[in-house]
Amino acid sequence: MTTAGARIHVVRFAPAKLNLTLAVVGRREDGYHALHCVMVPLSLGDALTVSAAPAGAAGDSLRVTGLALSSGPDNLVLRAIAATRARVAAARPGVPAAPPPLLVRLAKRVPVAAGLGGGSSDAAATIDAALSAWAAALDPEATVTLAASLGSDVPFFLAGGAALVTGRGECVEALPDLVGEPPAVLLVSPRLPLATSAAFEEYAAGARSLAGAHAGEVSERLAAQMRTGMTGADLIERAEDLAAANDLRRASLAIAPGLAELAAALQNLTGRPVGQSGSGPTLWSLYPTLGEANRAARAVRLAAAKGMLPRLGRGEPFVAATVIAGRRPRPAVEFGDGTMGTIRPRTVHNEPGGRRNDPKGRAAEPRDTKGE
């Protein structure tokens, strides 16, 4: 129970995702492409803090830090709040008042339109945070339907870990975490946003893999092996196969031909297979440890600064070393100030005159913090 004047702050971590596979297996009657993808969350991600808007606020508001991103009504965070509010109101007929306005602070680290699902992850985290802020609940089926209405990748982030994603993205089968130490991942994302819709348009126009059903076969084998228990070392051994298992890669190259040259340069520099996440342009390589991935990231940054890598878009690429995240424990994440910490899902009640929690969610917590 909170005292009068207390404010509730709901904190959520919104992880990036990595496509280990992406197979287009057909065309649906609704016009969407049918997919078979194995996806995993990463320890790289955004952070959301959601709280009740000040008294008299006209509506929901969003403040974004970290990366340049619109905070207008087209932002997925605000769209997720509006959609969640509508679902909550519809689920409790006879209650006169709709859930009140919310104030959201989004610390953005995941590059936009990069194939890492940053906006979709923000939307999924917002659904959860808004429900907590309103002390409301939706049944699982309604929550998945809500998530799917916001974007094809959004339902994946409700799984909280590795998953097989089929349909247009709305069918999510949770897969077991990798056994043992999870692989680290080197991410290199040119400053060249690629819209997923544009990649699918190129795919439909004929920009397709010459390997036929290869991506689907690799994806099915990977899902089967993960169901029965797969180690991080096993995954790394399959890196070359996985790197070729993305049916949107040729479509992305049709939009940004320079990606092929960049991928080749990265493979020469690192000596490791280079895959593409989602519709790109983010490229990835797997490593046994975060230390090795960090060393590779430094080498890539240095090569980019010296002009030894092809430059796509504006400026040097986004380069990060991260780790495939499991369901438990919560991953350590890197904050914008270069420090590391853990963002735990929680609701913080800031009592008048009491201690406030560290806004980054790492250190001193208020005396009545409740884990969720």
pLDDT value of residue 365: 29
Q: Coil, strand or helix: which one is 205?
A: coil
pLDDT value of residue 353: 39
Spatial separation of the C-alpha atoms in residues 45 and 322, rounded to whole Å: 10
Three-class HEC string of 219-268 = HHHHHHHHHHCCEHHHHHHCHHHHHCCECCHHHHHHHCCHHHHHHHHHHH
249-262 confidence digits (pLDDT tens):
999 999 999 999 99
Spatial separation of the C-alpha atoms in residues 215 and 111, rounded to whole Å: 25
* Count of beta carbons in the 10 Å neighbourhood of residue 344: 16
What number is the average pLDDT over the span 192-198?
A: 91
pLDDT value of residue 358: 40
Q: Coil, strand or helix: which one is 216?
A: helix
Domain ranges of the chain: 7-371
Cis peptide before 366 (omega within 30 of 0): no
Measured in residues, the chain has a length of 372
pLDDT value of residue 96: 60
28-45 confidence digits (pLDDT tens):
878 788 999 999 999 999
Whether 153 is a known active-site residue: answer yes
Options 17, 46, 122, 360, the catalytic residue: 17
368 has a pLDDT exceeding 50:
no
Options 46, 60, 153, 247, the catalytic residue: 153
pLDDT value of residue 18: 98
Sheet containing 184-189, strands listed edge to edge, beginning at the edge strand earlier in sequence: 275-276, 283-287, 184-189, 318-323
Q: How far apart are the first and last CA of the chain?
A: 15
Give 212's pLDDT tier (boundaries 50, 70, 90): low
Helix (H) or strand (E) holding 76: helix 76-91
pLDDT value of residue 272: 98
329-367 confidence digits (pLDDT tens):
444 444 444 444 554 554 443 333 333 344 334 333 222
Beta strand pairing status for 283-287 and 275-276? Answer: antiparallel
* Count of beta carbons in the 10 Å neighbourhood of residue 337: 6
- Show Cβ contacts of residue 60 under 8 Å, excluding neighbours closer than 6 positions: 53, 78, 81, 82, 101, 102, 103, 104
* Count of beta carbons in the 10 Å neighbourhood of residue 220: 17
241 has a pLDDT exceeding 80:
yes
60-82 confidence digits (pLDDT tens):
999 999 988 877 888 999 999 99
- Encoded tokens for 363: 């250190």
What number is the average pLDDT over the span 178-186?
A: 96
pLDDT value of residue 7: 64
- Mean pLDDT across the chain, nearest whole number? 86
CA dihedral over 308, 113, 176, 20, signed as positive or negative: negative
Q: Which architecture does CATH list for 7-371? A: 2-Layer Sandwich (3.30)
The CA R_g of the chain, rounded to the nearest whole Å, is 21
Spatial separation of the C-alpha atoms in residues 324 and 177, rounded to whole Å: 9
230 has a pLDDT exceeding 80:
yes
Cis peptide before 281 (omega within 30 of 0): yes
Share of the chain above pLDDT 90, in %: 72
Give 164-171 contacts, CB < 8 A, sequence gap 24+: 164/36, 164/37, 164/38, 164/223, 165/35, 165/36, 165/37, 165/38, 165/39, 166/34, 166/35, 166/36, 166/37, 167/28, 167/34, 167/35, 168/28, 168/30, 168/32, 168/33, 168/34, 168/35, 169/35, 170/144
Whether 108 is a known active-site residue: answer no
pLDDT value of residue 297: 98
Contact 314, 191 (CB under 8 A): yes
- Encoded tokens for 369: 């913090």
CA dihedral over 220, 157, 64, 356, signed as positive or negative: negative
Give 179's pLDDT tier (boundaries 50, 70, 90): very high
pLDDT value of residue 57: 86
310-330 confidence digits (pLDDT tens):
989 888 999 999 999 988 544
Identify residue 114 by its one-letter amino acid code: A
Q: Coil, strand or helix: which one is 160?
A: coil
pLDDT value of residue 3: 39
Distance of CA 334 to the CA centre of its chain: 15
Q: What is the DSSP string of 79-132?
A: HHHHHHHHHHHHHSTT--SPPPPEEEEEE--SPTTSSS-HHHHHHHHHHHHHHH
